[in-house]
Structure 1
Amino acid sequence: MIDIERLQWYYDNDRVFITAHAAERFRQRGIKVKDIRNAVKTGEIIEQYPEDYPYPSCLLLGLSVNAQPLHVVMSDEGNASRIITAYFPDVDKWESDLKTRKV
């Protein structure tokens, strides 16, 4: 299982990578790298994806720098992490706690 402290350690030690594709999606969604960093620093893991390939990943809920809820999907590659995607949660898809998917 991935833990938030490990993901935070990756950030503190410059071991977080963002693909060009993910960076483009952030721009389209109005998300800045500092928002993602803040979300990881303030966040909690709400879903684990241990079977993801090629590395396990997780979904976390944190806050952007202006305190907007932000979902971030990150991998744990053993000695580094990759940002897979980030988005502002859609209230049509998430319960009011933004941690539980609507059925």
Structure 2
Amino acid sequence: MNIKQISDAILDYRFWITDHADEEAEEDQLSFDEIYHSVLYGEIIEDYTNHQPYPRCLIYGENFATEPIHSVWDYDQETNTAILVTVYRPDPKKWINGKIRR
């Protein structure tokens, strides 16, 4: 999986959002425009290729105000569909520059 696959799925409306991701976005006051922006201009920082039922990745990106956002995505390679599993603002006590685990 690569970030282009996720980005293309977003741009082509081939994605869906889990209830959990929707709740987390609301809790962290993140709009979906911010989340999508963070993916389109972000990078994969952790790749879980053996995750089942679909490969999964953690994407680091920034919103329009350059605040860090983490989003976790599954990617169904058979249907070319991306699934937003969860999203959150990374805790600086747990992450160095939002990209490296402490």
TM-score (norm 2): 0.92
SS of residue paired to 2:76: coil
CA deviations 1:39-84 (Å, max 9, x no partner) are 1111000000112121110001111122211111111111100001
Contact 1:34 1:65 in 2 (8 A): no
Asked whether 1:77 is paired with 2:81, we answer no
- For the residue of structure 2 that corresponds to 1:76, the secondary structure is strand
CA RMSD of aligned residues (A): 1.0
Q: Distance in 2 between matches of 1:88 and 1:16?
A: 21
Following TM superposition, the consecutive aligned residue runs of length 4 or more in structure 1 with deviations greater than 3 angstroms are none
Unaligned runs of 5+ in 2: none
Match of 1:64 in 2: 63
SS of alignment partner, residue 17 of structure 1: strand
User: Residues 74 and 85 of structure 2 are in contact (CA less than 8 Å); yes or no, is this contact kept in structure 1?
Assistant: yes
Q: Indicate the residue corresponding to 1:31 in structure 2.
A: 30
Structure 1 contact 29–87 (Cα < 8 Å) conserved? yes
The 1-side partners of 2:66 and 2:48 are apart by: 26
- Asked if 1 retains the 8 angstrom alpha-carbon contact of 2:18 and 2:86, the reply is no
Deviation at 1:20, TM superposition (A): 2.1
Partners of 2:58 and 2:81 lie apart in 1 by 16
Structure having the higher strand fraction is 2
Q: Distance in 2 between matches of 1:70 and 1:64?
A: 7
User: Normalised by the size of structure 1, how large is the TM-score?
Assistant: 0.91
Unpaired segments ≥5 residues, structure 1: none
Q: Which residue identity does 1:68 align to in structure 2?
A: E
Q: CA deviation at 1:100?
A: 0.9
